[in-house]
Amino acid sequence: MTVLPKTVVITGATSGIGLATARSLAAQGVNIIGAGRSQSRCVEAEALIRAETPAARVNYFVADLASQRQVRALGSAIRELIQREFGGKLDVLINNAAAVSDWYVATEDGYEMQFAVNHLAGFLLTYELLPLLEMSACARVITVSSGSHYHTRMHWQDLMYRKHYFCLSAYKQSKLANLLFTREFNRRLADVSNIRAYAVDPGLVNTEIGAKGTGGLIQWFWNIRSRSGISPAEAAKTIVYLTAIPDIPQKEAVYWKECRPVEPSQYSKRADAAARLWEISEQLCGIVYTP
């Protein structure tokens, strides 16, 4: 039996897979709290969902997830909204936002941008929303990873690729970090809370992600390659599926594709790597997770 969540937070809900997920869940009566980095795109996304589903309860917040200050402010705004309007309870957090950058970009916190947006922002936002997730009987933290995690390891000696930056290496590492975070989250919290974490591989999807922060060859390549990808709506199905099944029997099934658990890379299953990344992420965010 499927039980839809009542309230869901989705980052990167202004385009691609995040927007498609928000539209699909709103149409099924779920309260949507979306986040995006652009005011105008947030307004457009909210208007689109309201036009499609007039009864939808949908709220968008603007936050640049490259900034930890803005991630904390987003967490605070969402907590305030959920306390006021949604009974103080969050059922699902979907860490979906991600960016690709051709060149090295340092965030205001001094971190490499892809590592900051694609991994640290989800790590910190999950921490910020933990008290609300703990109020739900069956909460989920779903992080959108990628098949590109198979082809890499953590670059411990220079996690931010400060010395030799290469866009795809930084991207792949950030998607591996999504899986290590998911695994370590479950190790620390699954037995002492009602929250379970899952990671999703959406497959190749026809979105603009690889063309936004790039130019030249990478942009050209992505524009050609993405055309053979599935639609964002198709990719959103696995995320929507994971929000709605009440109990997933396979405790170890953390990585999902096409609504089925799939085997992640051997490296992503390394307990030492997951624990090490968790500790580093806590330091880089200035937090300590306590269930």
Ligand X SMILES: NC(=O)c1ccc[n+]([C@@H]2O[C@H](COP(=O)([O-])OP(=O)(O)OC[C@H]3O[C@@H](n4cnc5c(N)ncnc54)[C@H](OP(=O)(O)O)[C@@H]3O)[C@@H](O)[C@H]2O)c1
Q: Which residues have C-beta within 8 Å of that of residue 37, sequence separation ≥ 6?
A: 14, 62, 63, 64, 65, 97
Q: In terms of CB distance, is 65 or 274 closer to ligand X?
A: 65
Q: How far is the CB of 154 from ligand X (least distance, A)?
A: 17
By the 8 A CB rule, do 129 and 92 touch?
no
Q: How far is the CB of 146 from ligand X (least distance, A)?
A: 3
> Annotated active-site positions, please?
171
Q: Which residues have C-beta within 8 Å of that of residue 279, sequence separation ≥ 6?
A: none
Provide the strand spans (E) within 49-148: 58-62, 92-95, 139-144
If one asks whether residue 15 binds ligand X (CB under 6 A), the answer comes out as yes
Helix (H) or strand (E) holding 7: strand 7-11
Q: How many Cα atoms occupy the beta-carbon half-sphere of 250 within 13 Å?
A: 11
If one asks whether residue 112 binds ligand X (CB under 6 A), the answer comes out as no
If one asks whether residue 98 binds ligand X (CB under 6 A), the answer comes out as yes
Q: How far is the CB of 102 from ligand X (least distance, A)?
A: 14
Residues 224-283 that bind ligand X (CB under 6 A): 229, 232
Q: In terms of CB distance, is 193 or 206 closer to ligand X?
A: 206
Of the candidate residues 5, 16, 75, 264, the single one contacting ligand X (CB under 6 A) = 16
Q: In terms of CB distance, is 85 or 208 closer to ligand X?
A: 208
Which residue, judged by CB position, is nearest to ligand X in the bound state?
Answer: 16
| Cα 45 versus chain centre, distance | 18
Q: Which residues have C-beta within 8 Å of that of residue 95, sequence separation ≥ 6?
A: 11, 121, 122, 125, 126, 141, 142, 143, 144, 178
Q: How far is the CB of 24 from ligand X (least distance, A)?
A: 13
If one asks whether residue 204 binds ligand X (CB under 6 A), the answer comes out as yes
Query: What's the CA gap between 234 and 202, in Å, rounded?
Result: 9
Of the candidate residues 99, 125, 132, 133, the single one contacting ligand X (CB under 6 A) = 99
Query: What's the CA gap between 107 and 68, in Å, rounded?
Result: 9
If one asks whether residue 17 binds ligand X (CB under 6 A), the answer comes out as yes
Report the interface residues with ligand X, using CB under 6 A.
12, 14-18, 36-38, 41, 64-66, 96-99, 117, 144, 146, 202, 204-205, 207-209, 212, 229, 232
